[in-house]
Every structure is written in C-alpha cells, then in structure tokens.
Structure 1
C-alpha cells in the first residue's frame, strides 16, 4: 500500500511537473470542460433535464450544466484509466526487464491518479451545486459507496487491456473510439427515460450507465440509488476484476520476452 501511494503521488506530480500552474490544472481542466459542454448542449442545443423532484423540465442552463458535469466526472475517471491501460506496461518496460517489481499495481496507480482528479472535480461540482440548487443533499455522503463498484470494474478492465497491449500494440487505437462511444451511449448527456421504453433496460449494459445515474442521484438529487441494480453491478464488477487480475498474472510471464 505504501508503494502504491508513493507511486500515485509521483504519477500525479509528474503530470504537472514543469508547468507554470502545476496542480491547479487539475482544477482548471474540469472547469474548462464544464464550460464547453454547457455551451454546446445547454446553450446551442438547449438540452434540459428533469430532476426527480420536478414535474416539468427545467429551463435553467445552470442546473443542466451541474447535472451534466456530474456525469462527466464518472466518465472522465473511466476514460482516464481505460485509455492509458493498453500502453501502461510498454511505457514502464524498465519495471518488467530490470528489477523485481509488482507490475500488477501499475493499473492501481493509474486508477489512484484518476481518482484524485475525480475528487477535485467532485469538489468543484459540490460548490456549483450549492450555488445553483442552494443546498447539497445529505445523500452526497454516499458518493464513495456508489463510485466504488466502478473503480473495481475499471481495475479489471485495465488489467486485461494492459496485458493485451503488450502483445498487440494497436489496442490503444481500438480503445480510444470505444471510450468515446461509451460516453455518448451512456446517460451522461441524456436521461434513460428519453429512450424508447423497450430500449431503456438495455442501457444498463453500458458500464457507465448505473454509476452515472447512481452518482447523480446521491450527489445532486438527494434520492437513494437503485440498490438492486447497484448490487448486481457490484457483483459483475468483482467478477471482472478477479478475471482481469488472473488474466494479467498468467500473461505477464511473456512480457519480458516481448518487450
């Protein structure tokens, strides 16, 4: 655990080393993305959101921006870890070749750095939510609980992609458009209820759907998440993580030969 924390701190600091604003970029980046998406979807496309406590769609661009940003926090965590995973071992080949190092923790370190950025974005979200809605619901304390299954699932995916990426270098090119598609096919920009009734259950097959909806429910809307759906998601996440870890451990034996 000490090694993971040390490497995570180094990973975070290394991303901003040499820049004039340093760690401040971890705060400015989500603010910039919030402004861009709010302008495109809230002002140009005039998208709006119906909250659980409202009978009609809100006309507030500010409320839509906060709701949108909440979903983007979940996506950015997913995207950051999954996008980097295929090249993770190749980029750290020295750990494989020269020293005895637990390379299985590299995806954990990557997830830790992404989790730091998600925490910073959450702080920004809570500030804007208080300004727009006038309060922060008590259910916001459940945010880590509903976020945890996504972390577990992403680790499993990262172990699989990191391993495949050693043998198949094109994996990064394949993953990039898939991550983008996952965002636009998840309830980040739209509500589940906006889909045809027959299609709504199929949305849950998207790995971001349940985490986005649950995170939004507890952080912004003050309602309990769908515990049954979240429980099923958690079991799948654990299964994927276990399979991913076993796959990584079995395939790592040939890393040194390939690298």
Structure 2
C-alpha cells in the first residue's frame, strides 16, 4: 500500500512536469521532419490502407462484420492499436531513455511512464477526431453512446501506464525486456481480433480471448461508434479488465518504490 500511495502522490505533485515533458517530446518529434504533424495522419493512413486491402478486399472480399462495413469495423480496432502499441513499445524505455536527467538531478522517476502515454494521447485524440468525422461521412449515426469513448481512453491510459511502469523498471536491469516486448507486440496484434472476427472460434476459445484487456477496449470502441451498447453491457469483461489493471499497477508501483534509489546506479 505504501508503494501505491508513493507513486500516486508523486504523479499528482508533478502533473505540470508531466505535461511539460510530454509537450517537449511531442514538439521535438515534429521538429525532426519538414511535414511535422502531418506524419501523424500519413503513418496511420498508410497502414490502414494496407490492412484494408489485404484483409478487407483480399481475404474477406469486402464482407461486412455484424452489419458494419469491414473498413469501418477495422478502423475502430486499429485506432485503439495505434494508441496502445507505441505506449507500450516506447514505455519500456521510459526510464532508461532519461538517463541524462536522472543521473544529474533529483528526479521523480515514477512519472516517466505517464509522460510517454500522455504524449501518445495527443496523437490519439488527433486521429480520433479525423476518424470520427470519417465515420460520419460514411454513414454512421451520431449518438450519445459516442461519448463513452472517453471512458475507454481512460482504460487505455491506466492500462498502458501500469504496464509501462513494470517494463520500464525491468528494462533497467536487462535490455532483453525491450526485445521481448517488441516481439510480443507483433504477436499480440494478431491474437487480438482487430483485423479478424471470432465468429468461427469455439466458445471456450472465445472466453479466453475476451480476457485480453486490449480486446475489451477494442470492442468498447466499436460499441461506442457502431453497436451503441452501454459500458455496463459487458460487466464480466469490465471486471476482468479493471482487476488486470489493478494487479499491473500494484506490481509496477512496488517495482518503482523498491528500486527508486537504485535506478541511478543501475543506469
């Protein structure tokens, strides 16, 4: 309990610092190229187009999914993935990448995973607005259920921050953690029904797949935009998700609290 209080208090006290670091990192990325923020649109657009051609036209032949056009159905899932994936892959380096700052001054290390997630949150909100208007153009009916997307954004932020606290702490001890995370992300994308449906899977396999916290968020986005289901429509999946996040946050808090004075020596 002491570790949880320590991490929560440190993040609350340093909210302005988290915002400042995230803003600096975001502007730094934009300065590295002439197109700047335009790449926030081009990168996802190129990937969506590729997946749509391969999986939508090539494999599924343009078949709709539960009454929703495959392109729209897939874009909702990829919208989640394009947020979660960089949060996890960059979050693993959240501590080790700031070695110059940590070793030269007293710095609240526990806020570093949050800075990575906040930076990616800006990119996600930017893409969310674009994709939402695209859905409207393609015939989606606006609904009050659309507002539930903010709940699922909170889900992503808490999940990725908790997971990054664990991987960033362990990555200080061995760089194999970063390689393992990168390899796992490639597998995780195809294990999560983002580009394919679970219609033909046995019931037992479906039950296991629904325990994936990313699946809960992906389906939540689709419920917000297309199926107009409330947050409480899947209470079992909701309980499993928040239990998973709680366990990850407890583990991450304990790691950071336990090694808070040793990270400098290890780096």
Give 1:4's aligned residue.
18
Give 2:179's aligned residue.
173
Q: TM-score scaled by structure 2?
A: 0.87
Q: Which runs of 5+ in 1 are unaligned?
A: none
Say whether residues 1:43 and 2:51 are aligned partners. no
- 1:28 and 1:201 mapped to 2: Cα distance? 36
- What is the alpha-carbon root mean square deviation over aligned residues? 1.7
- 1:2 and 1:144 mapped to 2: Cα distance? 22
Say whether residues 1:222 and 2:228 are aligned partners. yes
In the alignment of these two chains, the number of paired residues is 250
User: How far is the alpha carbon of 1:18 from its aligned partner?
Assistant: 3.1
User: How far is the alpha carbon of 1:250 from its aligned partner?
Assistant: 1.1
Give 1:237's aligned residue.
245
1:195 to 166, 182, 201: 201
Give 1:19's aligned residue.
33
Higher mean C-alpha displacement, 15-24 vs 104-113: 15-24
Paired residues of 1:42 and 1:65 also in contact (CA < 8 A): yes
User: How far is the alpha carbon of 1:132 from its aligned partner?
Assistant: 1.5
User: How far is the alpha carbon of 1:134 from its aligned partner?
Assistant: 4.2
Q: Which runs of 5+ in 2 are unaligned?
A: 1-14
Say whether residues 1:160 and 2:166 are aligned partners. yes
Paired residues of 2:211 and 2:240 also in contact (CA < 8 A): no
Give 2:154's aligned residue.
148
- 1:205 and 1:227 mapped to 2: Cα distance? 12
- 2:46 and 2:133 mapped to 1: Cα distance? 15
- 2:226 and 2:23 mapped to 1: Cα distance? 30
Deviations 1:67-102 (A, max 9, x none): 111111211222111111222222110222111111
- 1:134 and 1:77 mapped to 2: Cα distance? 22
2:42 to 6, 28, 34: 28
Matches within 5 A, 1:196-215: 196-215=202-221
Alignment CA distance shift 1:194-1:11 (3 Å): farther
Paired residues of 2:140 and 2:226 also in contact (CA < 8 A): no
- 1:241 and 1:7 mapped to 2: Cα distance? 22
- 1:49 and 1:112 mapped to 2: Cα distance? 34
Matches within 5 A, 1:68-79: 68-79=74-85
Say whether residues 1:254 and 2:249 are aligned partners. no
Give the secondary-structure state (helix, strand or coil) at the position aligned to 2:244.
helix
User: How far is the alpha carbon of 1:10 from its aligned partner?
Assistant: 0.9
Highest RCO, 1 vs 2 (Cα 8 Å, sep ≥ 6): 2
- 1:49 and 1:154 mapped to 2: Cα distance? 31
Paired residues of 1:83 and 1:175 also in contact (CA < 8 A): yes
